[in-house]
Amino acid sequence: MAYKILLVEDDIQPVEMYKRKFELEGFEVQVAEDGQEALNHLEIFTPDLVLLDIMIPKVNGLEVLRSIRQNPGKKDMLVVILTNLGNETTSEEIYKLGASDYIVKAEMTPLDVTNKIKEILKMYKQ
pLDDT exceeds cutoff 70 at 90: yes
| 7: nearest Cα among 96, 107, 79, 103 | 79
pLDDT exceeds cutoff 80 at 21: yes
| Mean pLDDT, range 55-82, rounded to an integer | 95
Number of domains in the chain: 1
pLDDT exceeds cutoff 70 at 3: yes
CA–CA distance, 16 with 56 (Å, rounded to integer): 16
Evaluate whether 9 touches 53 at the Cβ level (below 8 Å).
yes
| Mean pLDDT, range 14-31, rounded to an integer | 94
Which residues pair with residue 50 across a beta bridge? 6, 79
pLDDT, tens only, 69-84: 999 999 999 999 998 8
Host domain of residue 66: 4-124
State the chain's mean pLDDT as an integer.
92
Beta strand extents in the chain (DSSP E only): 4-8, 28-32, 49-52, 78-83, 101-104
CA–CA distance, 19 with 110 (Å, rounded to integer): 9
pLDDT exceeds cutoff 70 at 120: yes
Q: Would you state the pLDDT for residue 1?
A: 65
| Mean pLDDT, range 84-99, rounded to an integer | 84
The domain that holds 108 is classified in CATH as 3.40.50.2300
Q: Report the relative pairing of strands 28-32 and 49-52 from DSSP bridges.
A: unpaired
